Chain A
Amino acid sequence: MSVRPNAGAGEAVAVPRLPSLAERLRGAWDGDVAYSFRRSPVAVVSAIVLAACLAGALFAPWLAPHNPFDLKTLNLLDALSPPVWQEGGKPGYLLGTDDQGRDVLSAIMYGARISLLVGLASVALAVVMGVSLGLLAGYAGGKIDAFIMRVADVQLSFPAILIALLIDGVARAALPRDAHGDVALFVLILAIGVSNWVQYARTVRGSTMVEKNKEYVQAARVIGVSSWGIMGRHLLPNVMGPVLVLGTINIATAILTEATLSFLGVGVPPTQPSLGTLIRVGNDFLFSGEWWITIFPGVALVVMVLSINLLGDWLRDALNPKLR
């Protein structure tokens, strides 16, 4: 090839082009985080287990062998049958049935839906609340900071479950009896979400106070960006890393809180049983020998929470530059 002098001198300037989706995906796969994921067997296994749990929960209406809430399909003659591999087990009821003849496996899949919904939604609520208040406290400083953080300190001196019980109790007292069933799920999400915002607020406040003194924030102020613009568009993307890790781990905590509340009988209504409700119901039969009604939902809960926790741990290490 001969080299043409001044080749391209008169040509149009190359138009800047954003990478396509495929290029971005490939870039993400080659990136540090994906590399560390591929190198971590624990993370891969937890991700697969979690994906299976998610799929089972999301597609329960199509995957579950029975619909445990359709009274027409329930047969009381099938009640309290043990898992299929035990003597007396009935084919079609893999993990056995409860006292009303509901299939335990199907009930777990439907219950996991409720548990995951409450877990994800309450963490989302806690993140939104905690990140906004933490950002405001860290950036504004002074009296606003002092007020928000003192409220946080006071709330932190109560156990989260107590706050959730309080909110749930107030909602029960305030709402008419028949309305409560419809909004019980939202009250539960609100209760768990509000009881967990403090740690996000503290984390974000700390990172905000570090970031706001960096020169790019001062540069934005010189340019004339408003305080809201600086908080939302400059600081927020730079303080979200730790929040992601915390949020992942907290999904597991939120699911457990929901299970605890449901176990105590103040969570979701019995018409929409979560894993916690199933464990509570089965608990009554534990000592009469029908162990499968409570053990299998318990195992499902442990597996789900454990895989989320392990993934969260991996994410924390993968995003921590000091551990690379």
Chain B
Amino acid sequence: MTHPLHHAAAGEVLLELVDVARWFDVSPPWLNRVLERKPRVLLRAVDGVDVTIRRGETLGLVGESGCGKSTVARLIVGLYAPTRGSIRYDGVTLAGQGAEAADAGAQRQARRSMQMIFQDPYASLNPRWRVEDIVAEPIRVQEGDVARADLDARVGALLEQVGLAAADGIKYPHQFSGGQRQRISIARALAVNPAFLVCDEPTSALDVSVQAQVLNLMRELQQRLGLTYLFISHNLAVVHHIADRVGVMYLGRIVELAPTRRLFTQPQHPYTRMLLDAVPDLSMTGKSRTAVAGEVPNPLDPPPGCTFHPRCPLADERCRREVPKLLPAAAGGEAACHAVEDGRLPAREGAPA
């Protein structure tokens, strides 16, 4: 919708998550459990996520802190192994059921075409390395010995591609600003010509003026190189700017997944509505904003049924008992909400027709 070019190219499914879950064991140490009779404690950071990303599109993933967005990113790139479910990329099962049966060479090939951009540009670059070594590292690791001159030329071209100078390669990361460092991160991610980038809040540590530059760079690179993005952010404006489709996460599950325009104009899930109402908007000066009511429940002890029901104005008996499934909504996209399914969703006040 927002980027017709991508939709023309979009088609085949590139990445597919099927019922992916990741639980962390945060139990006290064995001795304490035995002596103090404490039970095992599981943190369900991600608890059953189904999502597909098509080639060439940008999927935004939003949600409050601690809802499992970053865990999804780390599951996809293989930093964590899923507790349940499976992850398929470009026809190859990378993790979960069927991963052992998959061809190891194909898996390595798939991993190679998938790179990640991290949130904190001050922590994601090794402070003791020169920028040229940082950017060259993926090439060295994945292609073995590359001639020095060849490597220099490629690193120089990568740095120029992200708007830095080739001569910046001999500097150290601390000689750059946050935005420039994030450009270095992007150059490193692009070094081995990936098809898919997982971006874990790539702009949230940056100044607002620099955010726009980095976002525009990412969009430009996407158009030029035909990249596919998973873009994780808690900033709705940023996601609105860059994503083709948006998934909203709440407590380890996706509660609504829809094309960007539809999600922002006709949000279905009560949580999405709550989030959108909370966004400060300069054009709506004077209109009072509704703060998101209540707190995110403790993920160690999530409420039964729909995890959103303690905060939901529409919750009824069924919501307290039964976990809603992600089902196609009448307005388009999908939502995991009994109220949407039953059609007892009130019209949204102030929403455009």
A positions within 8 Å CB-CB of B? 13-19, 214-216, 218-225, 229, 234, 237-238
What is the 8 Å Cβ interface bit string for chain B, positions 103-134, against chain A (1 contact, 0 not)?
Answer: 00000100110011011100111111100100
Min CB gap B288→A, angstroms: 39
Q: Decide if B79 touches A238 in the complex (CB within 8 Å).
A: no
Among residues of B, the one whose C-beta sits closest to the C-beta of A217 is: B126
Which among B41-49, B54-62, B163-171, B244-252 touches the partner chain? B163-171
Apart from A16-B166, A234-B126, 7 more pairs, CB < 8 Å = A218-B79, A219-B118, A219-B185, A222-B115, A224-B138, A224-B141, A237-B128
Please give, as numbers and ranges, the residues of chain B lying within 8 Å of A224 by CB-CB distance. Answer: 108, 111-112, 138, 141-142
B69 contacts A by Cβ under 8 Å? no
21 contacts between A and B (CB under 8 A): A13-B160, A16-B167, A17-B167, A18-B170, A19-B170, A215-B119, A215-B124, A216-B125, A216-B126, A219-B116, A219-B185, A219-B188, A222-B78, A222-B79, A222-B115, A222-B116, A223-B137, A223-B138, A224-B141, A238-B126, A238-B127
Q: Decide if A223 touches B167 in the complex (CB within 8 Å).
A: no
Q: Decide if A215 touches B123 in the complex (CB within 8 Å).
A: yes
B positions within 8 Å CB-CB of A? 74, 77-79, 108, 111-112, 115-116, 118-120, 123-129, 132, 137-138, 141-142, 152, 156, 160, 165-167, 169-170, 185, 188
Please give, as numbers and ranges, the residues of chain B lying within 8 Å of A218 by CB-CB distance. Answer: 74, 79, 116, 118, 124
Please give, as numbers and ranges, the residues of chain B lying within 8 Å of A220 by CB-CB distance. Answer: 126, 137
Min CB gap B79→A, angstroms: 6
Among residues of B, the one whose C-beta sits closest to the C-beta of A14 is: B167
Min CB gap A213→B, angstroms: 9
With A219-B116, A220-B137, A224-B112: A16-B128 Cβ-Cβ less than 8 Å = no
Q: Decide if B120 touches A215 in the complex (CB within 8 Å).
A: yes
Q: Decide if B142 touches A13 in the complex (CB within 8 Å).
A: no
Q: Once bound together, how far apart are the Cα atoms of A219 and B101, in whole Å?
A: 27
Select one of B74, B79, B141 contacting A225, CB under 8 A. Answer: B141
Min CB gap A17→B, angstroms: 7
The 8 closest A-B pairs by CB, nearest first: A215-B124, A237-B128, A215-B118, A215-B123, A216-B126, A16-B169, A223-B138, A222-B116
Q: Decide if B152 touches A16 in the complex (CB within 8 Å).
A: yes
Among residues of B, the one whose C-beta sits closest to the C-beta of A17 is: B170
Q: Decide if B156 touches A13 in the complex (CB within 8 Å).
A: yes
Q: Once bound together, how far apart are the Cα atoms of A237 and B128, in whole Å?
A: 7
Q: Once bound together, how far apart are the Cα atoms of A229 and B127, in whole Å?
A: 16
Q: Decide if A16 touches B132 in the complex (CB within 8 Å).
A: yes
Min CB gap A99→B, angstroms: 55
Q: Decide if A214 touches B123 in the complex (CB within 8 Å).
A: yes
Q: Decide if A16 touches B170 in the complex (CB within 8 Å).
A: yes
Q: Decide if A225 touches B137 in the complex (CB within 8 Å).
A: yes
Min CB gap B195→A, angstroms: 15
Select one of A16, A222, A237 contacting B156, CB under 8 A. Answer: A16
Please give, as numbers and ranges, the residues of chain B lying within 8 Å of A229 by CB-CB distance. Answer: 141
With A16-B166, A18-B170: A223-B141 Cβ-Cβ less than 8 Å = yes
Min CB gap B137→A, angstroms: 6
Please give, as numbers and ranges, the residues of chain A lying within 8 Å of B128 by CB-CB distance. Answer: 237-238
Min CB gap B164→A, angstroms: 11
Among residues of B, the one whose C-beta sits closest to the C-beta of A224 is: B141
Min CB gap A119→B, angstroms: 28
Among residues of A, the one whose C-beta sits closest to the C-beta of B116 is: A222
Please give, as numbers and ranges, the residues of chain B lying within 8 Å of A13 by CB-CB distance. Answer: 156, 160, 166
Min CB gap B105→A, angstroms: 13
Min CB gap A70→B, angstroms: 50
Q: Decide if B124 touches A219 in the complex (CB within 8 Å).
A: yes
Please give, as numbers and ranges, the residues of chain A lying within 8 Å of B152 by CB-CB distance. Answer: 15-16
Interface centre among A15, A17, A215, A221 (most CB of B within 10 A): A215
Among residues of A, the one whose C-beta sits closest to the C-beta of B198 is: A222
Q: Once bound together, how far apart are the Cα atoms of A214 and B121, in whole Å?
A: 11
Q: Once bound together, how far apart are the Cα atoms of A222 and B124, in whole Å?
A: 12
Q: Once bound together, how far apart are the Cα atoms of A17 and B170, in whole Å?
A: 7
Q: Once bound together, how far apart are the Cα atoms of A225 and B134, in whole Å?
A: 12
Among residues of B, the one whose C-beta sits closest to the C-beta of A219 is: B124
Q: Once bound together, how far apart are the Cα atoms of A13 and B112, in whole Å?
A: 30
Among residues of B, the one whose C-beta sits closest to the C-beta of A221 is: B79
Min CB gap B136→A, angstroms: 11
Q: Decide if A14 touches B166 in the complex (CB within 8 Å).
A: yes
Min CB gap B240→A, angstroms: 26
Q: Once bound together, how far apart are the Cα atoms of A214 and B119, in whole Å?
A: 11
Please give, as numbers and ranges, the residues of chain A lying within 8 Å of B124 by CB-CB distance. Answer: 214-216, 218-219
Min CB gap A296→B, angstroms: 45
Min CB gap A27→B, angstroms: 12
